[in-house]
Amino acid sequence: MLTYSSIKIFACNSNRPLAESIAKKLGLPMGQAEVSHFADGETSLRIDESVRSADVYIIQSTSPPHVNDYLMELLIMTDAMRRASAGRITAVIPYFGYARQDRKARSRDPISAKLVANLITTAGVNRVLTMDLHCAQLQGFFDIPLDHLVGVPLLASYFRSRISDLSNFVAVSPDLGSVTRARSFAERLNIPIAIVDKRRQRANVSEVMNIIGEVRGKNIILVDDMIDTAGSITNAADAIKNMGALDVYACCTHALLSHPAAERIQKSAINELVVLNTTNIPAESRIDKIKIISVEDFFADSIDRIHKGGTVSELFK
């Protein structure tokens, strides 16, 4: 079994509050490194401590508002760690960007998710720790070990603790792509599931919503992996409300909340949106309707288990 001189936690600029919380949970200081930019916009990096033979964890989401800059920061810090003789480099990527471009939907489309996976591996990452990839099959894009955490246990636990009687609740998938996630969520709360089937009659014509399952007279929890501009989730919430649903809640792992997401959520039928802090949500998007749950314990436990050679899957229970 490999042994390392020490465990070290470093962070780039995408979500330093989460990185600092994870380090604190592990009882470790943050690694001494400075990530900045030259006047022309190029990424500049300096590591101010030895990492020789260390088990290094770089915490960095490739999330808005600077997706490409954050990806370059991760790649450059990884290269610096490799050249400084780090024993093992694990990229902790709470939110993995470019995951939506995972196949050729049309002729001459890029498969950007595979390209990014190749870049991360080539830079020198030995292992990846991430959460709720947009498509679980993306794990196969990496030729290195990848630990895939899921956010459903945390989200389900929140609703279980907040709502004493779930007998009149239904978990709803806002589209066909999130059915597996919504079913897992429903099973944890022992509630039924429904599905929003979105179909566009023709180009430039509004989507027609059909609901598979019973929502009339029910309280609803919409379950998704990410919310970007919030168009799909708010349209689904409004459609379900118009079909006779009572209170409508929503939850997701990754709150990207690009403009005009916050405004749409505020005006929608959603009573409360529960999200995880895999991304650093800006202050202007932290409206009253949004409840943020921290993933610091989940990631800290995962890092501890990886460092000690333990199993990560036990955390899902």
Q: Do residues 17 and 86 both lie within one domain?
A: yes
CA distance 224 to 236: 11
Alpha helices in the chain (DSSP H): 16-26, 67-83, 112-123, 152-162, 179-189, 231-242, 261-267, 296-308
| DSSP labels, 92-132 | EESS-TTTT--S-SSTT---HHHHHHHHHHHHT--EEEEE-
Q: Do residues 57 and 161 both lie within one domain?
A: no
Residue 1 lies in a domain: no
Percent pLDDT > 70 in the chain is: 95
Residue 84 lies in a domain: yes
- Of 9-18, 99-108, 113-122, 283-292, least confident by mean pLDDT is 99-108
Residue 302 lies in a domain: yes
Question: How buried is 73 (Cβ within 10 angstroms: 0-12 exposed, 13-18 middle, 19+ buried)?
Answer: buried
Q: pTM for this one?
A: 0.94
The residues near 192 (Cβ < 8 Å, ≥ 6 apart) are 170, 171, 186, 213, 214
Q: Do residues 199 and 307 both lie within one domain?
A: no
User: What pLDDT digit, counting tens, does each position of 26-84 carry?
Assistant: 999 999 999 999 999 999 999 999 999 999 999 999 999 999 999 999 999 999 999 99
Residue 253 lies in a domain: yes
Q: Do residues 100 and 218 both lie within one domain?
A: no
User: What pLDDT digit, counting tens, does each position of 168-198 carry?
Assistant: 999 999 988 899 999 999 999 999 999 998 7
| Structure confidence at residue 11 as a pLDDT band (50, 70, 90) | very high
Q: Do residues 14 and 146 both lie within one domain?
A: yes
How far, in Å, are 27, 133, 224 from residue 106 at the CA level?
A: 49, 22, 25
Residue 41 lies in a domain: yes
- Total domain count, the chain: 2
| Structure confidence at residue 267 as a pLDDT band (50, 70, 90) | very high
Q: Which residues pair with 101 in a beta bridge?
A: none
Mean pLDDT calculated for residue range 293-302: 97
Q: Do residues 138 and 170 both lie within one domain?
A: no
Q: Do residues 186 and 106 both lie within one domain?
A: no
CA distance 215 to 169: 9
Mean pLDDT calculated for residue range 223-241: 93
Amino acid at 46: R
Q: Do residues 191 and 127 both lie within one domain?
A: no
Q: Is the pLDDT of residue 3 over 60?
A: yes
User: What pLDDT digit, counting tens, does each position of 68-119 carry?
Assistant: 999 999 999 999 999 999 999 999 999 999 999 999 988 999 999 999 999 9
Q: Do residues 74 and 209 both lie within one domain?
A: no
Domain containing residue 195: 152-293
Residue 190 lies in a domain: yes
- Cβ proximity of 127 and 88 under 8 Å: yes
Residue 261 lies in a domain: yes
Per-residue pLDDT at 314 = 81
| Structure confidence at residue 204 as a pLDDT band (50, 70, 90) | very low
CA distance 267 to 121: 43
Residue 2 lies in a domain: no
The Cβ of residue 145 has, within 10 Å, a number of other Cβ atoms equal to 12
CA atoms within 13 A on the CB side of 48: 7
Q: Which of 58, 66, 63 is nearest to 120 (CA)?
A: 58
Q: Do residues 260 and 176 both lie within one domain?
A: yes
Q: Do residues 138 and 57 both lie within one domain?
A: yes
CATH of the domain at 161: 3.40.50.2020
Per-residue pLDDT at 199 = 67
Kindly list the catalytic residues: 198
The pLDDT mean for the chain works out to: 93
Q: Do residues 223 and 284 both lie within one domain?
A: yes
Per-residue pLDDT at 198 = 73
